[in-house]
Structure formats: C-alpha cells, structure tokens
Chains A and B, each alone.
Chain A
Amino acid sequence: MVSIAHEVQSAHAPAHGAHGSHEPSVLDGPLSAPVGHHLPTTTGLDSRKLLMWLFLASDCMFFGSLIGTFMTYKGRSLIPPSPHEIFDIPYTSVSAFVLLMSSLTMVLALAAIQRNDPIRLRVWLITTALLGTVFIGGQYYEFHVFYQEGLNLQHSLFGSAFFTLTGFHGAHVTIGIFWLLYMTALSWTGRLNAEQPLFIEIAGLYWHFVDIVWIVIFTVVYLLP
C-alpha cells in the first residue's frame, strides 16, 4: 500500500478563503490569523509582508534624502570641527560590526522559529536587542563626545546634516529594539509560535533595513574622505 502525504498546510493550497474561512486582515489583530503562504490576495502575496517591503522602499527614499543632503553639504562646512577631526573610525567600526552581527542574530531568530524552537528564538531575539542597545549606547557616547567638542545640531552645516541623519537612524534602531522586545514578550507568553514566523520575518526585515542603512552611512559619512 503506497501513500504519499497530502498535508493540509500545503504551501500551494489556498489556506484561507477556499472553504469559506475568512481572509486574515489587520482587523483580526496581529496574532489571531494563521499565516498561510499563499493567501487569496490580488497579488497572491501576504499583504503584511508586502506592506513592510513597501514601507522599507519609502524609508529608502527618506534616508536617501538625508544621505543626499549630507553629501551635498559634505566639505562645505566652514566652521570647525570638520568630520576628519572628530571622527573616531576604530570606535565607529566596532559599532558597525555590532550592528552587522545583530543582523546575524536576527536571522538566526527567524531560523529558530521556523524550526519551532522557542528557546533559541528568545535567546536570539534578546541578543539582537542587546546588540542594538550596545549600538545605540555607542551612538549616544559618540554624540556626547561631539557635543563636548562643540558640535551640535545648530553648529554648522556638517553638524546639522550629521545629527539629523544619524539621529533618525538611531531612532529607527530604538524602535526596532522595542519591537524585538515585544516579540520576545509574545514568545514568552506563548502568543508567538512556529505557525507565525511571518511576525518575526517582518520584524527582521525592519531590523536588517536599519543595518543596510548603517552600511551606507558608515561608508558615506565616516569612511569616504
């Protein structure tokens, strides 16, 4: 007797709608709807994930405008200190490395929930939040040192462009940290399980985005002469 598994939760099966069950929507609440791979949406894609990608695309433009502004004013500030006088490249390199490694721990958290391993999920989420906190702490210290050197938001073209760009990035990282802690709390209370990896994936997309923005900032702001 031969049989091949026909599992209910097939990646190809329209998991919702085909049998009269409701399509997941934002109104259902963040965790109430099961995550299907192929929802009966007009795109065939999960709308929540699509929304996050569209948000990230718009955030690209937001940071693109800030980076463009910084590059426009680069080298045109007449009031000292200039960037190469106050930047501590080894220190910022460590910060960049920390944020880069937080991307690794974030993706390991996703791999953990996909393996239905809640313990490792929480470990990696907390590690990611911790690395993000280290990055933010480093940025706060850097801002403090620059302030001591006389550089602030109103000081010069360089000060305005630098603090606006890196400050908004820091705000994004801070939001990401709270998001990760929220996900950790959900996992701890049993409201996040292996059937909902999409929630971790979406949080991960946001976290990786702040990492790639820092990749650009680190090169354009700190390393390029």
Chain B
Amino acid sequence: MVLDPKALDWAGRQGLDSAALKRAKVPIYGKWYFPDLPANEPLVNLSTGQIETFGPGYRAGAVLYVKEADLKQAGLGPYKAAAPAAPAAATPAAPAVPAEPVAAAVAAAPAAPVRPSAPAPAPAPVAHAPTTHHEVASSQEVRQETAHALGHATPLRGHAVEHAHPGSKEYLIIAAILAFITAVEVAVYYVPELRPFIFPILIVLSVIKFVMVVGYFMHLKFDHISFTWYFGGGLALALAMSMSVVVLQIATHGLPSGY
C-alpha cells in the first residue's frame, strides 16, 4: 500500500507520501504499517493534520498517523524548514519553527470524546486557531481523543478510520487479477485432464474472486469490523441454508444420475 497524496488531503498539501516518510525513517502507524498506536503520544493524522492523542490499547486502521515528534525531527511537512536548525525540536525548550505554518481552520472545534473511565471535562469549543505550539499542546491535554465518538468501554478496531480506501492504481491491479482468475476458470472448464479436480478448483477460484470483490471493492477489509460480522452472518446463514437443502435432497433421493 502506497499512500496516495490525493486521498490524504493534509498530507497531500504538505507533500508527504510514504516514500518521503520511509526515506526519513518516520514510522507510519496504520493498518498496513504499525497497527498499534503509541499511547499518550501526540500523533498527526495524515488525513486532517489534526494532532490526536490516544490512550493505551488502541489500534490504527486505514487512517494513517505519524508521531508529531518524528515529523519535527525529520523536518517534514509543516516542520520542513525547522529541522536543520533545531534537531532537538521534540524538547519543549527548543520549539520548532516551521517556515509555513499550517492554516488552522478551527471554526468550532467540537468537544472531544472521552473514555468513560476518564471522564475529563469537555473543553469549550475553540473559536480561534491555536497559533503557538504551546496552545496546541494545551488543547491536546484536554483532548483525549478516542477511537469512538460515543465512548465505548473498549477500543474498537478501525473505528477512527473508515473511508480511507485504496487508490485507482490498486483498484486496477485488483480488477486485472479478477479478470485473470475468470480466464483461468474458463480455461479449467475446457481442460479434460482437470475434470476430476474441476469442483475444488472452481470453488476455490470463485471464493478468491468473491473475497477480493467484497474486501477491496466493497471495502470490507478497510471498514469497521461490524460490517464484516453483519454481512458474514447473512452469508453464513445463506451457505448453511443452501447446503442443508442440497444435503437433505441427496440424503433422501441420492445423487442424481451421472454423479
């Protein structure tokens, strides 16, 4: 998975992509990178530029994060000009000064969701953009972002991160694989030597196609796990129902002639 700057609005504006981050050895936290989010560490959301802090036990999904300190140290994004002058920018005593401050757009920052176990008072809506790092840090202290707006007791996988999907290039690759599998299926049908194995081969190939379409085109792989359970439940019932009908028919009437 390569970051598509177009899909990551803030990162795209900052000229950040996976190649630049990897070159700078900046760890990326996300489903396909390091899934476990570091606890109590200011993280930059690459989609929004927002700094978020998570408690222990949270896992990233499709939204990608990097440590704010790592960005500063590497001099990437808003800290582009600050890195050479301030290699120890992570320390509060040596605040980094980016050449191009990111435009803050906090017209009415909503009250941050909090975990039920830590009922911190919600801050008043911020009506202005934080202009200093100190202000950002202060606002972070009261912004204990969680992955769920409603404050479930346990972190939910990928809840913070629906809707970040593969790019057009990945879709084309998946479609090419699907077309190839379809061609193989038809070829298997015409090869007499494969007739004894045609049943398992075709079933496996169609299952692969099914899973690829559901996982990538329908984004079930990237969406909240609940959707997988809901759809998988219906699918399991459908399979059980159709198989039981077939088995009952065979049990009562035997196999049809020719089998």
Contacts and interface: CB of A to CB of B under 8 A. Distances in A.
Contact of B104 (A3, A63, A71, A89): A3
Interface band, chain A: 35 or more
Interface string B210-241: 10011011110000101100110111011101
A100 B218 contact: no
A101 B175 contact: yes
A54 to B, nearest CB: 6
Contacts of B131: 1, 3
B170 to A, nearest CB: 10
Nearest to B249: A72
Interface in B136-192: 136, 139, 145, 147-150, 152, 156, 159-163, 165, 167-168, 171-172, 174-175, 178-179, 182, 185-186, 188-190
Interface string A198-213: 0001001100110110
B257 interface: yes
Interface string A45-73: 10001100110111111011101110110
Nearest to B51: A4
Given A13-B109, A18-B111, A106-B217, A4 B49 contact: yes
Contact of B160 (A5, A11, A72): A11
B103 A5 contact: yes
B95 A63 contact: no
A14 B203 CA distance: 44
Interface stretch (B16-24, B33-41, B122-130): B122-130
Contact of A224 (B109, B159, B202): B202
Contacts of A14: 110-111, 113, 149
B230 A50 contact: yes
A108 interface: yes
B235 A60 contact: yes
B3 interface: no
A29 interface: no
- Residue among A8, A11, A63, A75 with the highest chain B CB neighbour number at 10 A: A11
Given A40-B150, A104-B171, A205 B218 contact: yes
A43 interface: yes
- Residue among B44, B95, B210 with the highest chain A CB neighbour number at 10 A: B210
A69 B226 CA distance: 30
Contact of A75 (B111, B132, B167, B258): B258
Given A4-B50, A111-B168, A19 B149 contact: no
Q: Lowest 5 CB-CB distances: which A-B pairs, in order?
A: A57-B234, A64-B238, A68-B242, A75-B256, A5-B49
19 contacts: A3-B135, A4-B44, A4-B68, A4-B136, A5-B49, A11-B48, A12-B113, A12-B145, A40-B150, A57-B230, A72-B245, A100-B179, A103-B213, A201-B219, A212-B210, A215-B206, A215-B213, A219-B203, A225-B195
Given A44-B149, A53-B231, A209-B218, 12 more contacts: A1-B97, A4-B78, A5-B49, A10-B110, A13-B112, A57-B233, A72-B246, A72-B249, A103-B217, A108-B168, A115-B6, A225-B198
